């Protein structure tokens, strides 16, 4: 047998916990997928696209109507309209886009700075590029970045910095001042930025998502990754996109065309129609999830779990130290097996988890019956 190229990689924690939930009949608040319906207009549009014969290969970069709609949406939201022909590429989900962006510019021997806790697909892609991941911890209480520590982590081999806002797993968000700090750090360097913005529309309390696309200096050196699956409750369709300046998009597309080549064609036609005809969906997504967040947090206060603040995204971190002193992996297994609620531990998101951290991630992108069933079980802890 050949030696493994990914010695640190096993089955993802999301698959592990979902399988455990299925085996024990647990309410699955672990893996981050909605369990409510896709917008009916989108389903109908997909059906029409398939019946109209849009079932063969799409153009490698995405169908023109969708790239135009993405460009128009970006202009309306962030005040910058990317060129749909040279700067917008439709991908088979955000994970593919992240992989493509890393492999487009990161070479063997390079270094990539990530902020821990970090989503688990970043480091394997870096490893496969022959590069090294440099982990910089966020504040363990607030998940805010210490930009001086980021500066200290940058060296002559640094090729890329990865940021994620709203942040998975914490829901923390980067401010306009944070984005200015990022711009200052990479100014005058050869460092590229990868901005993972898949929860861009799920922001709360009147806040504004600070996309890298709002920042002229950052637009020149950034791959911005977005997800239709997160926005339209259809994670299984696996459609996302990347916006990057022309030179970066050329390199991105070289990887994309030999990775998947093109993305599910009927869905592209459906998303193009949805963006044109029902923009109120993505514009109202924050309010939709804010109501879910508030209702779920109120119910959590009936339990012994302590909910942390959630500025964005659809995950709720809870401090379980009032319930157990188990480490997070053991606690989440115990919670699933013994109490019938699946959660995700935070330690898999870290290179070195903070000592004594007692946090677990719950997903509230669920219908009310699911959340109510989970709360009834959590009240018994």
Verify that 125 and 27 share a domain, yes or no.
no
In this prediction, residue 101 carries a pLDDT of 98
Does 212 map to a domain? yes
CATH classification at residue 337 = 3.90.1150.10
How many domains does the chain fold into?
2
Question: Is residue 236 over pLDDT 80?
Answer: yes
Same domain, 212 and 67: yes
CA distance 243 to 18: 32
Residue-level pLDDT at 14: 87
**121 domain-assigned:** yes
Same domain, 89 and 133: yes
Strand positions, DSSP E, the chain: 27-28, 88-91, 111-116, 132-137, 158-164, 192-196, 222-227, 240-243, 306-307, 315-319, 341-342, 344-345, 359-363
Residue 3, classed as helix, strand or coil, is coil
Give me the mean pLDDT over the 199-210 stretch. Answer: 98
- The number of residues in the chain equals 381
Q: Containing domain of residue 336, as a range?
A: 13-31+284-378
189 shares a domain with 170: yes
Nearest in space to 180 (alpha carbons), one of 215, 137, 222? 215
Structure-token pair, residue 71? 């460009």
Question: Residue 114 belongs to a domain with what CATH number?
Answer: 3.40.640.10
Percentage of the chain exceeding pLDDT 90: 94
Instruction: Flag whether 219 is in a domain.
Output: yes
Same domain, 153 and 65: yes
What per-residue confidence (pLDDT) applies to 10? 82
Nearest C-alpha neighbor of 347 from the set 310, 312, 317: 317
Q: How confident is the model at residue 31 (pLDDT cuts 50, 70, 90)?
A: confident
pLDDT tens for each residue of 175-191: 999 999 999 999 999 99
Beta-bridged to residue 368, according to DSSP, are: none
pLDDT(291) > 80: yes
Asked whether residue 225 carries a pLDDT value surpassing 90, the answer given is yes
Count of other CB atoms within 10 angstroms of residue 121: 16
Residues 119, 258, single domain; the answer is yes
Can you spell out the DSSP letters for 135-166? EEEPPTTT----HHHHHHH--TTEEEEEEESS
Cβ-Cβ contacts under 8 Å for 131 (sequence gap 6 or more): 106, 107, 108, 109, 110, 111, 112, 159
pLDDT digits (tens, 9 = 90+) for 137-162: 999 999 999 999 999 999 999 999 99
**Average confidence (pLDDT) over 258-279:** 97
Q: Is residue 2 part of a domain?
A: no
Could you tell me if residue 112 is inside a domain? Answer: yes
357 shares a domain with 245 = no
Each residue of 23-57: b (16+ CB within 10 Å) or e? eeebbbbbbbbbeeebbeebeebbeebeeeebeee
Q: For residue 59, what pLDDT is reported?
A: 98
240 beta partners: 91, 227
**pLDDT > 70 fraction of the chain, expressed in percent and rounded:** 100
Question: Residue 9: what pLDDT?
Answer: 86
Structural contact between residues 219 and 245, judged by C-beta atoms closer than 8 angstroms: yes
* pLDDT of 8 strictly over 90: no
Within 13 Å, how many C-alpha atoms sit on residue 302's CB side? 12
pLDDT band at 1 (very low <50, low <70, confident <90, very high): low
Q: For residues 51 and 25, state if they share a domain.
A: no
Same domain, 274 and 288: no
pLDDT digits (tens, 9 = 90+) for 340-369: 999 999 999 999 999 999 999 999 999 999
- Give the pLDDT confidence of 85-141 residue by residue, as tens digits: 999 999 999 999 999 999 999 999 999 999 999 999 999 999 999 999 999 999 999
Residue 302 confidence (pLDDT): 95
- Same domain, residue pair 266 and 301: no
Does 348 map to a domain?
A: yes
The first and second tokens of residue 237, run together, are: 């369709």
Supply φ then ψ for residue 184, to 5 degrees.
Answer: -65, -35
Last residue of a domain, one of 278, 293, 325: 278
Structural contact between residues 200 and 281, judged by C-beta atoms closer than 8 angstroms: no
Cβ–Cβ < 8 Å for 160, 149: no
Apex 32 CA angle, 69 and 74, nearest 5? 20
Which of 263, 278, 293 delimits the end of a domain? 278
Residues 201 and 308 in one domain: no
Looking at residue 184, its pLDDT comes to 98
In terms of domains, do 258 and 306 share one?
A: no
Query: Are residues 201 and 192 in contact, defined by beta-carbon separation less than 8 angstroms?
Result: no
Q: Is residue 3 part of a domain?
A: no
What is the reported pLDDT for 72?
Answer: 98
From the list 227, 245, 247, the residue with the least C-alpha distance to 237 is 227
Mean pLDDT score, 45-56 = 98
234 Cβ contact list (under 8 Å, min separation 6): 38, 42, 228
Assigned domain for 1 exists: no
List, in order, residues 6 or more apart from 312 with CB less than 8 Å away: 165, 166, 167, 171, 172, 173, 199, 202, 203, 204, 207, 209
The average pLDDT across 219-223 equals 97
Do residues 127 and 137 lie in contact, with contact meaning Cβ atoms separated by under 8 Å? Answer: no
Q: What is the pTM of this model?
A: 0.97
Q: Give the N- to C-terminal CA distance of the chain in Å, as an integer.
A: 46
The residue out of 252, 278, 304 marking a domain boundary is 278
């Amino acid at each position: 047998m050949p030696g493994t190229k990914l010695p640190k990689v096993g089955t993802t924690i999301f698959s592990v916990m979902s399988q455990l939930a299925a085996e024990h009949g647990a309410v699955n608040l672990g893996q981050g997928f909605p369990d409510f319906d896709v917008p009916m207009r989108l389903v109908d549009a997909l059906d029409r696209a398939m019946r109209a014969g849009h079932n063969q290969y799409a153009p490698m970069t995405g169908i023109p109507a969708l790239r135009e709609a993405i460009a128009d949406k970006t202009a309306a939201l962030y005040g910058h309209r990317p060129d749909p022909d040279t700067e917008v590429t439709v991908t088979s989900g955000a994970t593919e886009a992240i992989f493509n962006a890393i492999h487009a510019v990161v070479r063997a021997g390079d270094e990539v700075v990530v902020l821990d806790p970090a989503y688990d697909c970043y480091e394997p892609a870096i490893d496969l590029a022959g590069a090294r991941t440099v982990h910089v911890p966020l504040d363990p209480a607030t998940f805010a970045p210490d930009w001086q520590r980021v500066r200290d982590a940058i060296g002559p081999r640094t090729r890329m910095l990865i940021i994620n806002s709203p942040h998975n797993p914490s829901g923390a968000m980067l401010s306009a001042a944070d984005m200015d700090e990022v711009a200052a750090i990479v100014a005058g360097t050869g460092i590229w930025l990868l901005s993972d913005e898949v929860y861009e529309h799920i922001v709360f309390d009147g806040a504004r998502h600070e996309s890298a696309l709002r920042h002229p200096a950052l637009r020149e050196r950034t791959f911005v990754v977005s997800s239709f699956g997160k926005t339209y409750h259809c994670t299984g369709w696996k459609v996302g996109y990347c916006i990057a300046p022309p030179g970066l998009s050329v390199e991105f597309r070289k990887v994309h065309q030999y990775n998947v080549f093109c993305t599910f064609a009927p869905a592209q036609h459906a998303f193009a129609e949805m963006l044109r005809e029902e923009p109120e969906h993505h514009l109202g997504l924050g309010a939709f999830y804010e109501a879910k967040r508030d209702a779920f947090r109120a119910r959590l206060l009936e339990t012994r779990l302590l909910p942390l603040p959630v500025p964005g995204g659809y995950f709720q971190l809870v401090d379980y130290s009032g319930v157990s002193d188990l480490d997070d992996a053991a606690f989440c297994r115990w919670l699933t097996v013994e109490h019938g609620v699946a959660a995700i531990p935070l330690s898999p998101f870290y290179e070195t988890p903070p000592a004594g951290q007692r946090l677990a991630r719950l997903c509230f992108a669920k219908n009310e019956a699911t959340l109510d069933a989970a709360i009834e079980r959590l009240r018994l802890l």
